[in-house]
Chain A
Amino acid sequence: MFKTERKQGWFPEFTELNWRFWSFVILLIMSLGALTWFPVTGTFEGYTDPFYSPTLLVIPLIAAFRLSCYAYRKDYYRHVFKHPQACATGIREGKNGETRGYSGEKGFFALNNYHRYFLYVGIAILPFFYYDFGVSLFYEPGYFVLRLGSILLIVNALLLTLWTISCHAFRHVFVRGQLDCFSCSLGGKTMKKLYDGQSFLNRYHEQFAFISLIIVVGVDLYIRALMVGLPVDFTFLKFAI
Chain B
Amino acid sequence: MSENAARYRYPLFFVGSFLMLIMAFFLHFGVEVQELYIEIIVLVGFVLFVMSMVVGLGSKE
CB distance from A170 to the nearest CB of B (A): 20
Q: B57–A207 contact, CB under 8 A? A: yes
Closest to B14 in A: A23
**Interface size range of chain B in the complex:** 10 to 19
Residues of the B chain whose Cβ atoms lie less than 8 Å from the Cβ of A211:
53, 57
Question: What 0/1 readout, one digit per residue, does chain A (12-53) give for beta carbons within 8 Å of chain B?
Answer: 000000001001100100110110011000000000000000
Bound-state CA distance A24–B39 (Å) is 24
Chain A 71-102 per-residue mask, 1 if CB under 8 angstroms from chain B, else 0: 00001001110000000000000000000000
Least Cβ–Cβ distance between B8 and chain A, in angstroms: 10
- Tell me the dominant secondary structure on chain B's binding face: helix
CA distance A27 to B61 in the complex (A): 24
A79 partner residues in chain B, CB cutoff 8 A:
9-10, 56
Q: How many residues of A contact B (CB 8 A)?
A: 24
Chain B residue at minimum C-beta to C-beta distance from A79: B10
**Is A63 close to B, CB under 8 A?**
no
Which of B21, B46, B49, B57 is close to A31, meaning CB atoms less than 8 Å apart?
B21
Query: What's the least CB distance linking A6 to chain B, in Å?
Result: 18
Chain B contacts of A80 at CB under 8 A? Answer: 10
- Which residues of the partner chain A approach B17 to less than 8 Å between Cβ atoms? 27, 31
Could you tell me the distance in whole angstroms from the C-beta of B41 to the nearest C-beta in chain A?
A: 13
Decide if the interface of chain A is mainly helix, strand, loop or mixed: helix
In the complex, A162 has a CB within 8 A of chain B: no
Contact A37 B56 (CB under 8 A): no
Residues of A within 8 A of B24 (CB): 34, 37-38
What is the bound-complex CA distance between A101 and B56, given in angstroms?
Answer: 31
Q: Is B28 a contact partner of A37 (Cβ separation < 8 A)? A: yes
User: Across the interface, which residues of B come within 8 angstroms of A20, CB to CB?
Assistant: 10
Cβ of B61: which chain A residues have Cβ within 8 Å of it?
78
| 23 pairs of residues in contact across A and B, judged by CB atoms under 8 Å | A27-B14, A27-B17, A27-B21, A30-B21, A30-B22, A31-B17, A31-B21, A33-B25, A34-B25, A37-B28, A38-B28, A75-B56, A78-B61, A79-B9, A80-B10, A206-B57, A210-B56, A210-B57, A211-B57, A213-B53, A214-B49, A218-B46, A218-B50
The 4 A-B pairs of least Cβ separation, nearest first, read: A210-B53, A30-B21, A79-B10, A34-B24
Residues of B within 8 A of A (CB): 9-10, 14, 17-18, 21-22, 24-25, 28, 39, 42, 46, 49-50, 53, 56-57, 61
Task: Given A38-B28, A211-B53, A217-B46, output 4 extra A-B contacts at Cβ < 8 Å.
Answer: A20-B10, A31-B21, A33-B25, A214-B50
